Amino acid sequence: MGEVAARHAEPSGGRSSRTNLPDRAWAVSLTVFGAAVLVVAGVIVGALWFVAAPAVKTLGLWNFVGSRQWDVTRDLYGALPFIYGTLVTSAVALIIALPVSVGLAVFLTEMAPARLRVVVSFPISLLAGIPSVVYGLWGLFVLVPLLRKPIEPWLARTHFPLFSGAPIGLGYLAAGVILAIMILPTITTISIEVLRTVPGSLREAALALGATRWEAIRIAVLPYSRAGIVGATILGLGRALGETMAVTMVIGNSPTISASLFAPGYSLPAVIANEFAEASGSLQTGALAALGLILFAVTLLLNVIARLLVRVSQKGPARVAA
Amino acid sequence: MTKLILALLIAFPAVAADTLSITGAGATFPAPLYSKWFSDYNKAHPEVQINYQAIGSGGGIKQITEKTVDFGASDAPMTEDEMKKAAGIQHIPTVMGAVVVVYNAPGVKNLKLTPETLALIFLGKITKWNDPALAKNNQGLPDTVISVAHRSDGSGTTSVFTDYLAKVSPEWKSGPGAGKSVSWPAGLGGKGNDGVTGIVKQTEGSIGYVELAYANENKLEMAELKNKDGHFVKPSLESVSEAAAKVEVPEDYRVSITDSSGSGAYPIAAFTYLLVYRDQADAAKGAALLKFISWAEHEGQKSAASLDYSPLPHALTKKVDATLRKMTVQGKPVLAAGK
């Protein structure tokens, strides 16, 4: 609509105030709406900081961020296990979801007949609509027993240090797998949209040079849509970092740091959800608010890194979906 | 249809004008009983409508301190710090609850635990079901690893359970300590009673703790605990009520009744409280609230057992009556000496 208004305004040269007024009103209201988003974000950060600041001051910022101990009865608060758990589960989720999503998107846009695309993409977008508590329940009653019995003992036989320790089921791996399923529809649907913007001429050129179908995808389609796929991944990652309910139901909720993915852990949103309602004393409340700020910072930081990555690796035209 | 709308139009303002709306907030544990009480009381006294938000004990304390509700409710008594911020607050015990140890060990029935073994299990020091310390009181224990399940969310249940462990085990007291959420030396955290139940039901060899009502509902295996007098006691409504029978209850009712004496007393029990100001500021609401509490202490107790809550012992009800009579609305007592 902005474009239409701009085109409309151009011939009159912008001098006539009669045509200019709606334009200006439009521009002002858009600015207000745009600014409102920033204001809301600012207010959230400000309010969190207001609650968190006294606690952070008492605990010391680096001591808070770097400490592994979370002991409410002794008023010892350290954020490290939660930061670690959030990063590890999100990483596991991405490692599983990214290849599957991109593969699925490539298959559906490049290879599958059009009718199949509709049939398959509908249930994928349906996955995005399932409430996270349902994912959590499914995780607790279906995924965790499966991990405990055949999957984790089987993985343990690889003697890979990531897969060691008792196969309890609940832990980083369970949370990561649940998150992978949850972010799969986000990455897949956006990747499909991105892949569909690849001009047919690129594909045809590659095929005309004697490339096989796979080579055409690899040298023409994927490089062109790389930026968009990274954007889709950022959106998926955002969901994984902030997911609360499903994670807290399967991660084991133990504020420890373990190298093994089988071990129980904890994540930033999970501890806030668990402890905030019954938090007693300003120090605990403050520490939890500070964890909220850290989650904010981690999300922001990963977004910036991902965007920089896009910029550095960019060869084709920029097309960031996010 | 028109008639119906007309009837509603006539009915609604009338209801709104005559009903007294009292609001409360707090503990989730007694919420099922409270909502039954409120609806029963409303049937007998249609002019009083009580709304309750089960937001957790911490939230209840916060809201009654800020006076945004007419009464609060909490499982754990308020701390000294919290009491200072809410001058003139009175704890009124309503019913009693118990925390039971539930387990899932193949072939084990009627597990008997001593305070020492219970603490060692939750400290992560006893790691096998067939540990000699457990075998002393139990037979046919399997050679399975024990996995411990605890609450991950801050809760009154955890507070009562850890209060008991801290009383019976010096190692627990100097280690994790007591509180709504503690630093657990072992095990997995589940969110809420259902989270812990989920872990215990699914994991062979697991042990955890939940509220008695919850364990009954879900038909979980419950352990018998050795009480202060040296008897193994099954958790039940009677054994929980007995836990309060011999305890010296102070005027403000803020007392822990875990590990109490009495041959049939179940050791992990606690009161749940209503929190009200001793002098009520609002004349109509204050009077109605005090009358309701008095009803809850007498009539209300009868419906407690059917919902798995233990009624208060008679001696204690009398004490509460005396307290209620001393409470005032704008400086004047409301409840006559008769009741």
For residues A140 and A268, membership in a common domain is answered with yes
Between A8 and A164, the higher pLDDT residue: A164
Supply the pLDDT for residue A319.
46
> Which residues of chain B make contact with A74, given a CB cutoff of 8 A?
177, 183
Instruction: Say whether residue A73 is in contact with chain B using an 8 A CB cutoff.
Output: yes
pLDDT tens digits, one per residue of B163-191: 999 999 999 999 999 988 899 998 999 98
pLDDT tens-place string over residues A253-289: 999 999 999 999 999 999 999 998 888 778 999 999 9
pLDDT at B338: 45
Look at residues B269, B290, B320 and tell me which one is the last residue of a structural domain: B269
pTM: 0.82
A38 plus A179 within the same structural domain: no
Sheet holding B112-113, edge to edge: B112-113, B224-226, B232-233
What's A203's domain CATH number?
1.10.3720.10
Same domain (yes/no): A282, A136:
yes
Whether B112 is in a domain gets the answer yes
Determine, yes or no, domain membership for B338: no
Residues B200 and B180 in one domain: yes
Last residue of a domain, one of A14, A34, A59: A59
Could you read off the pLDDT of A193-235 as tens digits, one per residue?
Answer: 999 999 999 999 999 999 999 999 999 999 889 888 988 999 9
CB contact under 8 A, A277 and B199: no
Residues A35 and A92 in one domain: no
Closest in A76, A144, A274 to B152, CB measured: A274
Last residue of a domain, one of B236, B269, B302: B269
Higher pLDDT, B56 or A286: A286
B62, burial (CB in 10 Å: exposed 0-12, middle 13-18, buried 19+): buried
Residues B89, B168: one domain?
no
pLDDT surpasses 80 at A190: yes
**Residues across chain A:** 322
Q: Which two tokens stand for residue A270?
A: 């999970």
pLDDT at A240 over 70: yes
Q: Residue A66 is encoded by which pair of tokens? A: 């770097």
Compare CB distances from B179 to A69, A72, A170 and report the shortest one's residue: A72
Domain stop point among B269, B289, B311: B269
- Counting the structural domains of chain A, the total is 2
Residues A169 and A55 occupy one common structural domain: no
Let me know whether B129 and B249 are in one domain: yes
pLDDT for B292 equals: 95
Q: Using the beta-carbon criterion (under 8 Å), do B203 and A168 form an inter-chain contact?
A: yes
Asked if residue A71 and residue A53 are part of one domain, the reply reads no
Same domain, A309 and A218: yes
Q: Residue B339 domain-assigned?
A: no
Asked if residue A165 and residue A29 are part of one domain, the reply reads no
CATH of the domain at B71: 3.40.190.10
Q: Are residues A42 and A158 in the same domain?
A: no
CB contact under 8 A, B182 and A255: no
Q: How many angstroms separate the CA of residue A73 from the nearest CA in chain B?
A: 6
Per-residue confidence band for A1, with pLDDT thresholds at 50, 70 and 90? very low
Do residues B117 and B183 share a domain? Answer: yes
Mean of pLDDT values over A146-161: 90
In a mutational test of the A interface, the residue from B153, B161, B162, B204 whose CB has the highest number of chain A CBs within 10 Å is: B153
On whether both B240 and B298 belong to a single domain, the answer is no
> Does A103 lie in the same domain as A54?
no
Is A36 an 8 Å CB contact of chain B?
no
A-interface mutation test, from B55, B82, B122, B188, most A Cβ less than 10 A away: B188
List, in order, residues 6 or more apart from A41 with CB less than 8 Å away. Answer: none
Considering chain A, what percentage of its residues have pLDDT values greater than 90? 66
Q: What is the mean pLDDT of residues B292-306?
A: 93
Mean pLDDT, residues A292-316 taken together: 83
For residue A321, the model assigns a pLDDT of 42
Report the pLDDT averaged over residues B237-263.
90
In a domain, B318, yes or no: yes
Question: Which residues does B contribute to its contact with A (CB < 8 Å)?
Answer: 55-59, 79, 81-82, 145, 147, 152-156, 176-184, 187-191, 195, 198-199, 202-203
Q: Looking at the structure, do residues B141 and B212 belong to the same domain, yes or no?
A: yes
| B50 and B89 housed in the same domain | yes
User: Taking each helix axis from N to C terminus, what angle separates A222-242 and A172-196, rounded to the nearest 10 degrees?
Assistant: 140
Q: Which residue type occupies B184?
A: W
The DSSP result for A111-141, as a single string, is IS-HHHHHHHHHHHHHHHTS-HHHHHHHIII
| Range(s) of the domain holding residue B67 | 2-95+272-333
Per-residue pLDDT at B6: 52
Average pLDDT score over residue span A30-49? 95
Q: Is B204 among the domain residues?
A: yes
* Strand pairing report for B147-151 and B188-190: parallel
Each residue's pLDDT tens digit, B7-39 = 545 544 444 456 899 999 998 889 989 999 999
pLDDT tier at B332, thresholds 50, 70, 90: confident
- Is residue A286 within 8 A of residue A63, CB to CB? The reply is no
Taking an 8 Å cut-off on Cβ atoms, the answer to whether B59 and A277 are in contact is: yes
- Residue among B58, B182, B198 whose CB faces A140 most closely: B198
Q: Is the model more confident about A17 or about B96?
A: B96
| pLDDT classification of A10: cutoffs 50, 70, 90 | very low
Note down the domain range covering A190. Answer: 63-321
pLDDT of residue A318: 45
Q: Distance between CA atoms of A165 and B61, rounded to whole angstroms?
A: 42
Interface ipTM? 0.77
Q: Is residue B234 part of a domain?
A: yes
Q: How much is the average pLDDT of B225-232?
A: 95
User: Looking at the complex, does the CB of residue A282 fall below 8 Å from at least one CB of chain B?
Assistant: no
* Nearest residue of B to residue A143, measured between CA atoms: B202
> Region A45-51: what's the mean pLDDT?
94
Q: Tell me which H or E stretch contains A8.
A: helix A2-9
Counting beta carbons within 10 angstroms of the beta carbon of residue A129, is it exposed (0 to 12), middle (13 to 18) or buried (19 or more)?
Answer: exposed
Using the 3D structure, point to which of A36, A59, A82 is the last residue of a domain: A59
- Whether the CB of A175 is below 8 Å from some CB of chain B: the reply is no
pLDDT, average across residues A123-148: 91
Same domain (yes/no): A302, A154: yes
Whether B276 and B248 map to the same domain: the answer is no
If one counts the domains in chain B, the total is 2
Mean pLDDT, chain A, whole residue set: 88
pLDDT band of residue A6 (cuts 50, 70, 90) is very low
Distance CA B23, CA B33 (A): 16
Name the residue with higher pLDDT: A12 or A61: A61
Same domain for B87 and B105? no
CB contact under 8 A, B188 and A252: yes
Within this chain, do residues A165 and A112 fall inside the same structural domain, yes or no? yes
**Å from B92 to nearest chain A CA?**
20
